[in-house]
Amino acid sequence: MAVTAPNLRQMAKGPDAKGIGSNSSTCLKLVQVSAHSSTVWIMNCSCGQCGNIRSASGCCCTSKDGSRRRCNWRMELACQGIRARRKAESSVFCWQIYSFTMRSTGGCSAATRTSRSSGYADDVIVHCKSEYAAKQVLREIDQRMAECGLVLHPDKTKVVYCKDGQRRRNYSETHFDFLGYRFQPRCAQCRGGELFLSFLPAVSVKAGKSIRQTMRSWKTHRWTQLKIEELATSFNPVLRGWINYYGKFYKSKLAPILGQFDYALVRWVKRKYKRLGGSPTWARAWLKRVVAQQSGLFAHWHITYAGMTER
């Protein structure tokens, strides 16, 4: 079983989650985030009036009329020399709370202490051995978050059954999305060539939709003033980035998504070369000749080689 608890920050609607300016949330977040101050994260406490960075022990500053008044403190979180946004600060805060819950030896069950977890920023996955253990861990994490003024996302937090060839029970939830990947039962091939059912990640539906929308926004068919080599120079860095990230697992799932760009290239050929008469068939044939001659011109052609999608 796997407990997924993504986007803790988005559901932080309690009084302690309104921002760094709240006194109670400021103290709590300072305690949680300060554990990272010696590495990447740096916590600065500065006055909102005079701007001086001082210790937070009852400092006062002088106003224009000569009177002394207590500083209006604000917390700033810097990451590698750049002021971090609210997202970074909240992500560290949520992850620190979760890590404390999983490492705690008192007040939590054996299922929580023995479960394995993985996460990035405010997205977390907890791996448990049974459905009972998964639900128990979920209750304890929810309780810990409530103590810190946070609540789990009711729609995205769920218990998922990792179904494969050995785990064959029927369960209502058998897939989840994490960091742009969808984990679900998929067909795999062992070294001997035999096929079996495994629980594997691949590019998610949401990520694929985002990639297609990005490619449509390029309006590649209008770039007729450029040569095809110049198009490759412009778009290859983005295509290569998608392949390097989403192609780590089940790369074949990228073929129909990146085929959208091949379709855009066909439209580009139709508009650029008038001698083809605007024929999609001739345009695809022209592009296939280029693929045969320069198979490495575009970064995605080793996945969609000669795979112009019929649309």
With residue 178 as reference, give the H or E element that holds it.
strand 176-178
pLDDT of residue 58: 46
Question: How far apart (Å, rounded) are the C-alpha atoms in residues 20 and 146?
Answer: 18
pLDDT of residue 119: 76
Q: Which residues contact 143 (CB under 8 A, 6 or more apart)?
A: none
pLDDT of residue 129: 86
* Number of Cβ within a 10 Å radius of residue 309: 14
DSSP class of residue 297?
S
Phi, psi of 292 (to 5 degrees): -65, -35
pLDDT along the chain (311 residues), means of 10: 46 31 42 43 43 45 54 40 49 62 55 68 82 87 80 85 88 91 92 90 95 95 94 96 94 93 95 92 93 91 64 36
pLDDT of residue 120: 76
pLDDT of residue 113: 59
Whether the pTM exceeds 0.75: the reply is no
With residue 87 as reference, give the H or E element that holds it.
helix 86-103
pLDDT of residue 283: 94
